[in-house]
Amino acid sequence: MINAISPFQAQSIQDSQSQDVQSPKQNQQTSFSDFLNQSINEVNSMQIKSDQMTAALAEGKNVQLQDVMIAAEKASVTMLTTIEIRNKAVEAYQEMMRMQI
């Protein structure tokens, strides 16, 4: 048998729904340029980490080969993804410039 919703339960449901609606507004404070800068910095840090691990392996330090290879592949994938995103953005910009008003 289904129990009826009491007024207290209904109020708590409404409160939780209103909080869920308000939370995305608080997360939208970062701008696109901030997001872009953060993403580029992450790609750069992955490239630097890969280079450092490769240099450490070449110097004979205690670095596992598989860790170096994983770091290099992560750096490569993030760089290729960044390049593809840039290409798509340039493509979209060029397409908009070709549009007639």
pLDDT digits (tens, 9 = 90+) for 77-88: 999 999 999 999
Q: What is the pLDDT of residue 74?
A: 96
**Span 77-100, average pLDDT:** 95
Q: Per residue in 12-55, pLDDT tens?
A: 666 655 555 555 555 567 888 898 899 999 999 999 999 999 99
pLDDT at 30: 81
Q: What pLDDT was estimated at residue 1? A: 56
Instruction: Show me where the domains of the chain are located.
Output: 31-97
pLDDT band at residue 101 under the 50/70/90 scheme: confident
pTM: 0.63
The region, left, alpha or beta by phi > 0 then psi within -120 to 50, assigned to residue 3 is beta
State the Cα torsion 53-58-61-65 to the nearest 10°. Answer: 60
